[in-house]
Amino acid sequence: MQLNAPIIYKLEDKIVTNYSGYNQLARFYHFCLEQPKGSNIHLDFSWVEWFDGNLCALLSAIIYQLKKTHDFVFSADEKEITNRFDVLIRNGFVKTDSPVYDERKSTIPVQAFANDDKEGFCDYVTNELLSHRGIPENINDKLKERITDDLLEVFCNTNFHANTYDPFFVGGQYYPRDGLLKFSMVDLGIGFLPRIEKATNGKINNDLEAIQWALKGNSTKMVLDQCPGGLGIKNMFKYCKEHQGVIQIISNKGFWSSDLEGSLFQAGRELPSPFLGTTINLFFKKI
C-alpha cells in the first residue's frame, strides 16, 4: 500500500561528477532503502547549488532500481526545477507538459536502453554523442568509429559479464565555458569484481584492483569464455590520456578517476555506501 505522506530527502551543495557527487547520490539510494515499501519520496533541490546534467543517468538508474524493488513514487518541485535546474528538463530527465527544446544545445538526452537494443544505442552514440557540438574537432571519422566500437563493447558487456537484464542508462552535458563534455553510462549489474576474481583465481579480490586490472586491457572473456574482448575500457583510457580527457570508473565500492593520477588517491577511493553495478564517466575536452 502506498503511503500518502511524502518523505522528504534534501540534496545539498554541488552535485558534480566526482567522488563527492557520486557519494551523495549513493547516500540518497541507501536512505531510500530504509523507507517502507510504497513510500512517496520527495526530492528537495532547494539546497542544491549545482547539478551536473550527465549525472541524471545515475539518478535515473537509482530511481528505476528503487521503483522496481520497493514500489516507491518519486516527486520534486516542478517550479524549483524549472527556475533553477531547467537542465533537468532540457535533457529529458524531468517530464513536463511543455515540449522539450534544448535551445542552448548543451545537453545529451538522458535515455535508458534495453540491454539487447544494440542498434538503438549505436544510433544514440552516433547522432547524440559524437555529433554534439561539445565533441572535439580533432575526433575524425576513423576515431569516431573506434570510440563507437569501444562504447558498444561496454554496452554489450552489461548482459555478458555484468549479469543484468536491466536497462543501460546514459546522458551527457556540455559546458561551453570549460570546453568540456561529460558523458555518463550506468548499468545495474554485479560490477567488475566477481568475474575478475574468478578469472584470476582470487588474486584480484577488491573492487579497486579489479578496475585497475580492466584498465590494462585484461579480459575475463578471454579467460572464462575463450573469446576476445576487454579493449574497450583500455582504449577509452588511452584516448583520454592522449586528448586531455578524463575517465572515471565506479564499480561497487571502488571509485577510480584518471585525473587523480599523481595524487594521494591515484589508486582510487572506497565508497562507504555504494550503488549497484558500474558507472563510467567520460570527459571530452575541446583543445
pLDDT confidence of residue 157: 82
d(CA 269, CA 287): 29
d(CA 112, CA 107): 15
Three cell numbers written together for 263: 595524487
Which residue segments constitute the domains of the chain, with CATH numbers given?
7-95+106-285 (3.30.565.10)
CA-wise closest residue to 217 among 170, 146, 150: 150
- pLDDT surpassing 60 at residue 44: yes
CA 51 to chain centre: 14
| Longest CA–CA separation in the chain, Å | 55
Three-state DSSP state, 285? strand
Residue position matching grid coordinates 549505436: 122
pTM (2 decimals)?
Answer: 0.94
Contact between 182 and 106 under an 8 Å Cβ cutoff? The reply is no
Q: How far, in Å, are 111, 160, 187, 194, 277 from residue 163 at the CA level? A: 20, 6, 10, 10, 10
Confidence category of residue 222, pLDDT binned at 50, 70, 90: low
* Strand runs labelled E in 16-99: 40-51, 73-76
- pLDDT surpassing 80 at residue 163: no
Query: Average of pLDDT values for 29-54?
Result: 97
Cα dihedral 103/108/54/124 (nearest 10): 170
- pLDDT surpassing 90 at residue 230: no
What residue type is 137 in one-letter code?
A: E
Between residues 209 and 99, which one has the greater pLDDT?
209
Cα dihedral 239/122/98/29 (nearest 10): -70
